[in-house]
Structure 1
Amino acid sequence: MQSADAGGSYRDKLFYTIAPCAVMCLVGVLALLTGRISAHNRKANRHSQIAFKWFFFFFLFVSTELALESNPSDHARASTIFLSKSQTDGQWSRCVPPVSPGPPMKKYSSCSTIFIDDSTVSQPNLKSTIKCVTLAIYYHIKKRDSDRSLDIFDEKLHPLSKEPVPDDYAYVDPEHKHIYRFVRTLFSAAQLTAECAIVTLVYLERLLTYAELDICPANWKRIVLGAILLASKVWDDQAVWNVDYCQILKDLTVEDLNEMERQSLELLQFNINVPASVYAKYYFDLRQLADDNNLNFPLEPLDNQRAQKLEAISRLCEDKYKDLSKAAMRRSLSADNLIGVRHSNAVLS
């Protein structure tokens, strides 16, 4: 029995948000109509104005809630689905821990040594990012609502290899290491970047929400493959062609990949745009997921070479900021409002 609380709470929150607002709006409309019919009555007229204000404010409230909760892969202020699933630990005892238990070994900075990780929002660490993305997929499978799927993603109907699919393939949840091995193989062979992995997760959650699907043991490989295929074409400058994936998964046909890509785009409603705010939200939520599951990003001592690299990046960002500030000064300064540009100190963390 799968936990329906994690994924179901997403739609339940929408329902319990809309239902009371809809009732209040209906009451407001009825009161407004009553006030107009009894326009000669001042008291009723005043009540109609109050009711109209309630109706207006509740309409704005519902519109805002819908905008924030409709899809976390489109709105930066909405919580990611995978993080919500990972934090519902009421039935954690029934789940297999995706990582080994025990206290993690942490490195702490001292007066003589500084430990930092090279992962940033613009240049994430590839290995750690893939581990976090596959862990997010693991939680999607483990805490799914049901087994809603489509034939194009069914591995029994469209196998990825010539090896026979086990009879219980649709009932046994994959372990985190199996998902990681599958994704790592694709990223290593296709030479994809860590940013592409984050965009893959955005597309995956967008696909599950738009098409109202569940990622389950029967379809997870093909859904993930379709998301990687789209992300690599949208994000990377040198896109990987479908025939290249057929060289990695040798039993796949180009026609099968083309059809899966076409249907994936249709299910996404051709919305392949990923705003920078959404990308940043997924990056930091993946880091939060790593901290919650003892998947620490690798810390290395700060040596001269890495210090020079950080200084070069900082200087490049500072020069870019100065150029933008000068351009803004030329466009916006006037004799009536002449203020200097405030430069903030760069902080390396």
Structure 2
Amino acid sequence: MSSNEMKSRIILYVDMDYFFAQCEEREHPEIKGKPVVICVYSGRGGDSGAVSTSNYEARKLGVKAGIPISLAKKIAPQAIFLPVNMELYRTISDDVMEVLKEYSEKIEQESIDEAFCDLTEKVNDFEGAKMLAVQLKNEIKQKVALTCSVGIGPNKLIAKVASDYNKPDGLTVVRPEEVLQFLGPLKITDLVGVGKKTGERLNELGVKNIADLSKLTADELIREFGHAKGIWLKQASQGIDDSLVKERSGTGQIGRIITLKENTKDLNTIYDAIDQLSNDIHMKLQARKLSFRSVSFIAISQDLKIHTKSHTLSASAKDPGTIRDHAHELVKAFLAEHPVALRRVGIRVANLEEEKGQRTLGEF
């Protein structure tokens, strides 16, 4: 191992592949391999709204995030169009994040489907990080039945750019001595934080790729983009990023969901599943020394509609009995209102607090 590697931080970035669409493919195996488009409907009726994301089959046909649903249907009339199902995606995201927590104590969840992990204390070098990443990808595939793309680098910037380098189901490792060679040929907009307008202005200045950008002086960049952005562009073009991996809000819940052996509205069968989930969630709370303030019951009916029912506690709790008892009440109340057969059931606890300081995770 080189002295360069010994001094370097080792940061891993996980980016779930076409996450919303992949979640839908997992739930409905019959649509896998077909173009799938996830839509945010505006509520005005018809096809009013925009595409949230699509799988690779739909992207090959020209369906991109942000375009109107009506346009997407003209481009790919054969595609399967589904509404965004955030409850399902959040629950699956929780499962992914729980796997990540087995690999690193320092995790920063960037969004519902992306996270940084600091591996500096976990592995000796980048080769060790690569082996760990292979193991992590396999575990996510086994436990969550989804693929992800992983980037590993000496800082957050490089790890994130690397995760996007080889998709889907990719793994890209960039060692400290490879940073400039890796970044050089990439488009300027491949740098996280460089948008379309900045990219266009840099093109006007004769900058075609990150290697060109790195040749501009800090003064030239400050003149064009202001002090803060100019300095950032100069550092980013050289692969410099000192920002730390910090836990942030968005990790303040733990959820589990399970598929029942058969569609049912039998209370005792559902209670049995709820008891199992309650114990699972309690073990996760115990491992992270957390208490909770709210319990939610998630019901997915046989027509695949998702319903949730929640209860907020008057004081924090951490025992499995409280999760179980409130979940049972929520199940009973839900089935009284909606006497439908359920296909899947889940529980989520939220408003998590650390047992010692009683600070909510959202405050970090």
TM-score interval, normalised by the smaller of the two chains: under 0.3
TM-score, normalised to structure 2, is: 0.24
TM-score, normalised to structure 1, is: 0.24
Q: Pick 1 or 2: higher relative contact order, CA cutoff 8 A, min separation 6.
A: 1
Larger radius of gyration: 1
Higher helix proportion (structure 1 or 2) = 1
